[in-house]
Amino acid sequence: MAHTSEGAARHAASGPPWMHIIGFVLSIVLTLAALWLVLGHAMRPAPLFFTIMVLAVLQIAVQLFFFMHITESYGPAWHVWMLALGVVLVVAIVAGSIWIMTFGGDVAY
Amino acid sequence: MPVGVQNYTTHFFVTGDPLIYGVDVSIILVSLAIVYVLTRYRKWGWLWREWLTTVDHKRIGIMYLIAALLMLFRGGVDGLLMRTQLAWPNMHFLEAEHYNQIFTTHGTIMILFMAMPFIFAMFNIAVPLQIGARDVAFPYLNAISFWLFFFGALLFNHSFVIGGSPDAGWTSYPPLADLPFNPGPGENYYLLGLQISGIGSIATGINFFVTILKMRAPGMTLMRMPLFCWSVLAACIIIIFAFPVLTVALALLLIDRIAGAHFFTMFDGGNPMMFVNMFWIWGHPEVYIVVLPAFGIFSEVVATFSRKRIFGYSSMVASMLAIAVISYFTWVHHFFTMGAGPGVNSFFAVATMIIAIPTGVKVFNWLMTMFQGRIRITTPMLWTLGFIPNFAIGGATGVMLSVAPADYQYHNSYFLIAHFHQVLIGGTVYGMLAGMYYWWPKMFGFKLDERLGKWAFWFFNIGFYVCFLPQYLVGFMGMTRRVYIYPPGLGWEIPNLISTIGAYLMGVGFILIVADVVYSIRYGERDLTGDPWDGRTLEWSLSSPPPHYNFARIPRVDSRDAWWEMKQRRQRGEPMEEPEPLRPIHMPKNSGVPFILCVAFFVAGFGFVFNWYVFSVIGLLTVAICLFHRSFDYDTDYYIPVEELEHHEAALGRT
């Protein structure tokens, strides 16, 4: 029971969750921006792909910093190692898929 | 019966096949029997309190184990039906459509609903006990993972009698799996069943990753962990990164099918090969997800039954982590024949060859562990010994397949079929059965009978070679996978007949395993010491089965094979430390919400399968309510008082 009341007290004392609200607004803005760029045909395809990729990366950063507590840790920062590995694998998957699906560069989309 | 109702029921229930009518009857009979027994012996409350609402990792592990064995039975029967159809040219046992459905469900069930729960059973049973923890990091999430798997599998299995099974292969490639070529609910069952259980798999990956990094007993550094825990850690790393790709691929295909999008369609800018690409970005790491825990089990079993510490511990760790990373760089070898060009194919061919190296290192380490050891040939050890030659052959044929130009010959032939059955059965299934026999006394308090277990092993092992070696040959003769009928005169008859005989021998092996379980419940040797195998790791320091809080006092670890060292010290008569006084133990409370949450997922999934969106809305709303409830639930844990602990420990004969 001791633990339970601690949890409730911590919850009551913390005030409005500003970090979450800012993160929520930012993530919605980034999503809507990408949607508008695509639906409105705001750019030619090549810069469009590049821009929405950049927005996607920013979105990842927002999620990590505002919601996933990347800066908080007790003990060794295992999550940073996992994220580093994650970046390596994501790059491999995205770059690899583009390489493969353009048949090693022989097909221009 | 009015025509409307009749039309409706014939489209809803699968009709016309005597096999399926037989299944209908047996499903109804078994369900009635279960309801009758539970009511007759007033066990409904027990079922709810002790099992459906449990968050105890040991019970969740047992439920995973039972589910995996049931699915092994279903997938096995699918396999036997296929082998029966192929036993002889021009057989008319199964029709083409039915055969397509059966190879689809065989593959899907064996990988996702047999291998995955089987490894999760072993995770749950062994990991917390081996690292000296009282439960996993997130026990409530663990229950959700299990029930998501359970209801995903249940949804998928419904397809057999309601609506029709998927029939586009376990890989479910578009355009065949797209709506124009595959109308009806079958493919939706595949997509939703995998999606729901896949959420559970990701959660399990995260759960055990955190458990291993954060919940180890004091003194157990990473390099003092049992190798099984290392293998689970490596598998979890792969799960966390691979499964989301499958989730996305399945979701996009589902959107294609139910909302008319064009991600993977033939026209309108879709690209079917992109699904193939994404499927295998998950699919290749997936085979390492299911085989790494098996490697871990073999390491435990070999060390225990050779009475030696494992040879080359750090090279074992290094090779598992190398496998975990390199497994992401091999996926194209599943579709070399797409013709992505020499650059792409060479890169992935070389990566595939490289990944064989750490696996080879592990094989030599197991052999060196046995070298000059005092080997006891028990059933878990037999499965381990059976695995080594099996995996060596499977690995060698894998390297043959990795040579891209040669793969153009082998691709989708029975050579490939024989190869992946050899690594998946010889690796994963042997490993899981070794683990099941090894940890059975820990879970249930009695050993499985050794004599029956050895009979089962020999039937299964011999049956395995009889079944799959001829398939290499018939593959070279040009037989491709997924053919349901072939003419006489191609020289395929004899190898196919031999292969079918082997499949039935494996079936006998499975029946003997079940017989072993049934026999041993009554007559199996009881395990009163908690350490029936003279084990080396911490789980054997507990009573069998362990109390629900596992460790009354968290052990202090100062070496590898911690329990073995403690026993050695006791034998040498070194003074034992005075045990610390007992302290109240912090435990998670049981909860019915995970079960309800996953029933809601099932209802939502069923709605999507039949495009009855009312069900989907109701289901997803219930999911949201359950999540909301949990977010504001602060009454999630309790303390076991010291008096109760003393009482429990005294009842177990421990102080």
pLDDT digits (tens, 9 = 90+) for B430-466: 999 999 999 999 999 999 999 999 999 999 999 999 9
CA neighbor of B91 nearest in space, from B103, B99, B79: B99
Query: Using CA atoms, how far apart are residues B468 and A99, in angstroms rounded to an integer?
Result: 36
The verdict on a CB contact (< 8 Å) between A4 and B637 is yes
Is residue A7 located within the same domain as residue A43?
yes
Does residue B215 belong to any structural domain of this protein? yes
Instruction: Give how many domains chain B has, as a whole number.
Output: 1
Return the closest-CA partner of residue B253 out of B280, B226, B274, B230. B274
Could you read off the pLDDT of B539-554 as tens digits, one per residue?
999 998 999 999 999 9
**Whole-angstrom distance, CA of residue B67 vs CA of residue B596:** 19
Mean pLDDT, rounded, for A34-62: 90
Please indicate whether residue B370 or residue A66 has the higher confidence score (pLDDT): B370
Same domain, yes or no, for A96 and A56?
no
Dihedral sign for Cα B368, B373, B379, B382, please: positive
Q: Does residue B175 have a cis peptide bond before it, meaning omega lies within 30 degrees of 0? A: yes
Chain B closest-CA separation from residue A100 CA (Å): 6
Identify how many contiguous H helices and E strands chain B contains and give both numbers: 22, 2
- Report the candidate in B294, B286, B563, B232 with the shortest Cα–Cα distance to residue B435: B294
What is the per-residue pLDDT for A28? 95
User: What is the phi/psi pair of residue B482, to 5°?
Assistant: 70, 10
Query: Which one of B341, B634, B635 has the shortest CB-CB distance to A103?
Result: B341
Average pLDDT (A74-82) is 79
Determine whether the interchain pair B637/A104 forms a contact, defined as Cβ–Cβ distance below 8 Å: no
Whether residue B527 contacts residue B441, with contact meaning beta carbons closer than 8 Å, is answered with: yes
- B261-281: pLDDT as tens digits: 999 998 888 899 999 999 999
Q: Do A85 and B237 touch (CB under 8 A)?
A: yes
Contact (CB<8Å) B325/A97: no
Is pLDDT above 90 for A18? Answer: no
| Among B488, B609, B545, CA closest to B57 | B545
Residue B592 confidence (pLDDT) above 80: yes
Distance CA B53, CA B35 (A): 19
Question: Hey, what amino acid is at B52?
Answer: L
In B, residues 451-480, which contact A (CB 8 Å cutoff)? none
Query: What are residue B640's DSSP bridge partners?
Result: B585
Residue B290 included in any domain: yes
Number of domains in chain A: 2
Angle subtended by helix axes B593-609 and B186-214, to nearest 10: 150
Bridge partner list, B587: B638
Chain B residues in contact with A89 by the CB 8 A cut-off are 241, 328
DSSP string of A9-66?
HHHHHT-S-HHHHHHHHHHHHHHHHHHHHHHTT-S-HHHHHHHHHHHHHHHHHHIIII
Does pLDDT of B7 surpass 60? no
| pLDDT tops 80 at residue B562 | yes
Instruction: Please identify which residue in the block is written with the tokens 């089962």.
Output: B456
Burial class (CB in 10 A: 0-12, 13-18, 19+), B24: middle
* Distance from C-alpha of A100 to C-alpha of B385, rounded to nearest angstrom: 40
Whether residue A1 has pLDDT greater than 50: no
Same domain (yes/no): A38, A61: yes
Closest Cα in chain B to A109: B269
Residue B634's identity, in one-letter code, is Y
- Tell me what percent of the residues of chain A surpass a pLDDT of 70: 83
Distance from the B634 Cα atom to the nearest Cα atom in chain A, whole angstroms: 6
Q: Does some domain include residue B151? A: yes
Substitution target from A74, A100, A109 for chain B, most B beta carbons within 10 A:
A100
Residue A79 shares a structural domain with residue A62: no
Q: Give the tokens for residue B151.
A: 């209801």
pLDDT interval class at B12 (50, 70, 90) = confident
Q: For residue A91, what is the enclosing H or E element?
A: helix A78-101
Regarding whether A84 and A40 lie in a shared domain, the answer is no
Q: Decide: helix, strand or coil at residue B170.
A: coil
**B93-110 pLDDT tens trace:** 998 989 999 999 999 999
Q: Which residues of B125-159 are buried (b: 16+ CB within 10 A; e: fewer)?
A: bbbbbbbbbbbbbbbbbbbbbbbbbbbbbbbbbbb
In this predicted complex, what is the ipTM?
A: 0.84
Mean pLDDT on B183-211: 94
The pLDDT of residue B273: 93
In terms of domains, do A13 and A55 share one?
A: yes
Beta-carbon separation of B343 and A104 below 8 A: yes
Contacts of A104 in chain B (CB under 8 A): 340-344
Q: Which residues of B touch A105 (CB under 8 A)?
A: 341, 343
Could you tell me if A78 lies within 8 Å of chain B, comparing CB atoms? yes
The pLDDT of residue B3 is above 70: no
Residue A81 and residue A57 in one domain: no
Contact B327, B288 (CB under 8 A): yes
Q: Residue A83 sits in which domain range?
A: 75-109
Least confident of A8-12, A43-47, B367-371, B580-584: A8-12
Q: What is the pLDDT of residues B623-640, one digit of tens each?
A: 999 999 999 988 889 999
How distant is the alpha carbon of residue B600 from its chain centre?
24
Report residue B4's pLDDT band, with 50, 70 and 90 as the boundaries.
low
Question: Can you give the CATH number for the domain in which B226 is found?
Answer: 1.20.210.10
- Tens digits of residue pLDDT in B480-534: 999 999 999 999 999 999 999 999 999 999 999 999 999 999 999 999 889 999 9
B559 bridge partner residues = none
Phi-psi region of B267 (alpha: psi -120 to 50; beta: other; left: phi over 0): beta
Q: For residues A55 and A79, state if they share a domain.
A: no
Tell me whether residues B278 and A101 touch, CB distance under 8 A: no
- Reference B354, options B377, B329, B373; nearest CA is B329
B311 belongs to a structural domain: yes
- Decide if pLDDT at B1 tops 50: no
B633 Cβ under 8 Å from any chain A Cβ: no
Distance CA B301, CA B374 (A): 13
Average pLDDT score over chain B: 93
Q: From chain A, pick out residues whose CB is under 8 angstroms from the CB of B240.
A: 82
Confidence of residue A6 (pLDDT cuts 50, 70, 90): very low
Quick check: is B28 in a domain? no
Give kind and range of the element (H or E) at residue B640. strand B637-640
Q: Cα–chain-centroid distance for residue B381?
A: 20
> Same structural domain for residues A86 and A37?
no
Question: Does the structure show a pLDDT above 90 at B391?
Answer: yes
Q: Which residue of B has its CA nearest to A9?
A: B634
| Domain presence at residue B611 | no
Element of type H or E holding B139: helix B139-158
Residue B653 scores a pLDDT above 50? yes
Asked whether residue A66 falls in the same domain as residue A87, the answer is no
Q: How many residues does chain B have?
A: 655
Q: Is A14 on the interface with B (CB under 8 A)?
A: no
Q: In sequence order, which ranges of B159-268 are alpha helices (DSSP H)? A: 186-214, 227-259
Least-confidence region, from A68-77, B46-55, B104-113, B296-305: A68-77
Which of B291, B361, B362 has its CA nearest to residue B327? B291
User: What pLDDT does residue A55 have?
Assistant: 94
Residues of B in contact with A103 (CB under 8 A): 339-341, 344
Quick one: pLDDT at residue B2? 55
- Confidence at B573, pLDDT banded by 50, 70, 90: confident
Q: Please give the distance of CA B442 from its chain centroid, rounded to a whole number.
A: 20
Q: Are residues A48 and A6 in the same domain?
A: yes
* C-alpha span between B101 and B167 (Å, rounded): 4
Backbone angles phi, psi at B490, to 5 degrees: -95, 0
Tokens of residue B634, six digits: 């602060």
Residue B23: which pLDDT band, with cuts at 50, 70 and 90?
A: confident
pLDDT value of position A106: 65
Q: What is the largest CA-CA distance in chain A?
A: 66
- Considering the domain architecture, whether residues A47 and A62 belong to the same structural domain is answered as yes
Looking at chain B, the whole-number percentage of residues with pLDDT higher than 90 is 85
The residues in A 56-75 lying below 8 A from B, measured between CB atoms, are 75
Res A109 pLDDT > 80: no
